[in-house]
Structure 1
Amino acid sequence: MTPDGGKVMVTQRADNSVSSLDADTCTRSRTVAGVNEPFVIAIAAARAYVSTVSAAYDSILVIDADIDQVIAVYPLAYSVRDLAVSPDGRYVYACRAGTLGADVAVIDTVTERVDAISLAANGAEPRATPECVRVSPDGSRLYVATQRPTGAELTVIDTHRRRMLGTVAIGSPIRDVALSPHGELAYVLSCGADFGAVIDVVNTVSDAVIGTSKIGDVSGFVTQLTLSGDGERAYLVDDESVLVLSTQTLGVIGTIEVGDHPSCVVESPDGGYLYVADYAGTVSVLAISCNTTATPLPEGAEAGLLQLLQGQPALT
């Protein structure tokens, strides 16, 4: 979602396009076609950064969200797994998996220079794979979920010196990481077929796990964890619903039911609405209140979204 809350950007992998939705009217503003297998999307200022795939290489497309047009392309080696953008919008961070291991590509959108930060602890690690990357609110740190043969870790990177500062052992496969509004806490979501979903709370000052909670109401595997703007709630996406958690207790305080398997969720900047995408190609819009049951969109708007959002959607 754009910082002003006016647009929701949606990737449509099935028909190789990216669409922008008017957040007020729930209608399509414009569609950018010819985006090959769009997957990850991140937004800063009036720019949307979208990862794409081709037979030769992956690329990061830059879309001007005001005019819905591609204004730059950055080809990258290896396989892009996730994206994050610095708060000022200058740097784009792409975590990648390659033949020699994992790294983070750093794209300077002003100079157009591309550098890389290795995630290898000791030399090449061919089996290391990054899962996601998050940037701290002040832009000084990166947090990369890295799966290694010995277990999963949260890798901490200094963005100014562009080097690893350390790791926090998590053990179980990490699915997502969410940072508190001021960056003092990292909520690390992991899951497994034998134990379900677990959230570890990491103090980012000491880089130590200060709390762990098993989420018992999860259905199947989890795909996303994100926080509300005020940091009071966490939204956890599983196979069937979106669980609403209290970040103070990590207890479930509500459940959002949607029509089909949800894929991701984003909260509007003013904290008034949630936008939930599902794998059937529908976006549900909910007013944030004590009622956590999805209210269907007006008939005309819903039909338009169903036609628009074919394939696997992603929101930001």
Structure 2
Amino acid sequence: MANASARANSVTVENQDVALLKSTTVGRGPISDIAVDGDTVVTTNFGDDSIAVLDSDTLAVHGGVFAGQPTTVAVVGDRAFAAVSSASYDAIAVIDTVSGEVVKEYPLSFNVTAVVTSADGKRVYAGRSGEEGVDVAVLDVTAERVGTIYVAKAADATIDAMCLDTTGRRLYVGVTDSRSSRLITVDVETSRVRRTLEVGAPIRGLALGMEGVAYVLTSDIADGGVLYVVDLVNNKITADVAVAAAPTQLVLSADGTRAYVVDYDHVAVVDTEKRAIVAEVSVGARPSAIALGSDRLYVADYDGGVTVYTVAASTPMLYSQFASALAVPAPRELQPAV
């Protein structure tokens, strides 16, 4: 395990709700994404084509596989779902986080740029870019089938981020093309787009807060990084705050009071009520991705390292405890994987 002080980790805070715990080196080169669920952390190491499974407390690596070039990952229970690509194919690889082995692959056409799962892990949503636009491949893990939700037409469009609400019935998709960006609301029951909200600058991150609020992170040369507060009920932007110079990712605490933003050389901690940065976290290398547990912040970097910090524990959203009990209907037009 790497020595934390040797990596020049530091924290600058107004309050003392962030503290360095430990760090380790997972692999060579940049880590493209990181996800956590319970006692398991999963990283996708684009630099050496590997997926690693770590203990969330000790950061000890207890499993992993080599699988194409992994990009984005989601983890729920004892399964991780990672987008992998190579010269010959693109797929979602399913990793057993207990054994550290790939137990299933779903070949998919086109490039997968975002992955989210339902609370019970029975549905996996993979945002992908094709020749004529963007769509979401919906993996029914139980039936081992794949359906498609068509999102937007634009040859240069990409899906930058996605979130599924606690009911499992609304999928929020951040789409960017050469002209603008927009937040799209998809009804999972009907597999249809219900609402579109123009945002403007390229979207880098998306998170759902409490009481029908979403946070959309954007970045461009003119305005830098901006965090937009969106009223999902009325489908409008209600506030914005400058949060970073060149942000790339966003996570939100379970109670919605803290937003953590990956910037060029640090992670900014934003108080969403005050709409102000209250802390900056440095890991001694360029941060590439973040994940948030109940009271732990995991920061991956471009040197193949992972650092963990304690953060103020937050109370989960009141409705989330019922999410796993809600049935999510299968998407229309289920068909064999392509």
The TM-score bracket by the shorter chain reads 0.7 to 0.9
Structure 1 counterpart of 2:197: 168
- Which whole-Å CA distance do the structure 1 matches of 2:308 and 2:37 have between them? 17
How far, CA to CA, are the matches of 1:261 and 1:149 in structure 2?
27
Q: CA deviation at 1:210?
A: 1.5
* Equivalent residues of 1:2, 1:46 under 8 A apart: no
Contact 1:136–1:183, Cα closer than 8 Å, also in 2: no
- What is the distance in 1 between the residues matched to 2:268 and 2:94? 32
2:301 equivalent in structure 1: 278
Indicate the residue corresponding to 1:312 in structure 2.
none
Code of the residue aligned with 1:18 in structure 2: it is: I
**Cα offset, 1:188, TM superposition:** 0.3
Distance 1:40 1:280 in 2: 17
Partner of 1:87: 119
Q: Residue 294 of structure 1 corresponds to which residue in structure 2? A: none
Q: Does the 8 Å contact 2:160/2:205 carry over to 1?
A: yes
Is residue 125 of structure 2 the alignment partner of residue 96 of structure 1?
A: no
Give CA deviations for 1:145-198 in whole Å, capped at 9, x if unaligned: 111344110011001111100101101111111111x46211000111121111
Q: Please report how far the alpha carbon of residue 206 of structure 1 lies from its aligned counterpart in structure 2 after TM superposition.
A: 1.8
AA at the equivalent of 1:30 = G
Contact 2:297-2:308 at 8 Å conserved across structures: yes
Structure 2 counterpart of 1:193, from 221, 228, 251: 221
* 1:13 aligned residue (46, 65, 69): 46
3-state SS in 1 of match to 2:47: coil
1:203 is aligned to: 231
Give secondary structure in 2 for the equivalent of 1:102.
Answer: strand
Long gaps (5+) in structure 1: 290-316
| CA distance 1:194–1:74, shift in 2 (3 Å) | same
| Whole-angstrom distance in 1 between the partners of 2:229 and 2:289 | 21
Structure 1 residue 278, shift from structure 2 partner:
1.0
Question: How far 1:213 moved relative to its partner?
Answer: 1.8
8 Å contact kept, 1:2–1:45: no
Change in 2 beyond 3 A, CA 1:72/1:186? same
Give me the whole-angstrom Cα distance separating, in 2, the residues matched to 1:54 and 1:128.
21
Does residue 1:31 correspond to 2:64, yes or no?
A: yes
Is the counterpart of residue 263 in structure 1 residue 270 in structure 2? no
Equivalent residues, number: 279
- 2:159–2:176 contact (8 Å) kept in structure 1: yes
Report if aligned partners of 2:36, 2:292 keep a CA contact under 8 Å in 1: no
TM-score, normalised relative to structure 2 = 0.79
- The aligned amino acid for 1:131 is D
For residues 183 and 55 of structure 1, the distance between their equivalents in structure 2, rounded to whole angstroms, comes to: 44
What's 2:31 paired with?
A: none
Question: Does 2:193 match 1:135?
Answer: no
The one-letter amino acid of 1:278's match is D
- State the partner residue of 2:182: 153
| TM-score, reference length from structure 1 | 0.84
Counterparts of residues 226-237 of structure 1 (less than 5 Å): 226-237=251-262
Q: Which has the higher contact order (CA 8 A, sep 6+)?
A: 2
Give the 5 Å matches for 1:54-93. Answer: 54-93=86-125
Residue 63 of structure 2 aligns to a residue in which SS? strand
Structure 2 residues not aligned, in runs of 5+:
1-34, 313-338
Matching residue of 2:9: none
Q: Does 1:249 align with 2:294?
A: no
Whichever residue aligns with residue 97 of structure 2, its letter is A
User: Is contact 2:63–2:97 with CA below 8 Å preserved after alignment?
Assistant: no
Aligned to 1:44: 76
Whether the 8 Å CA contact 2:82–2:94 is kept in 1: the answer is: yes
- Extract structure 1 runs of 4+ deviating beyond 3 A: none
Cα RMSD of the aligned pairs, angstroms, is: 1.7
Structure 2 CA distance for aligned equivalents of residues 42 and 52 of structure 1:
12
Q: 1:101-116 alignment to 2 at 5 Å?
A: 101-116=133-148
Residues 19-43 of structure 1 deviation map (CA, whole Å, 9 limit, x = unaligned): 111222221112223x100110001
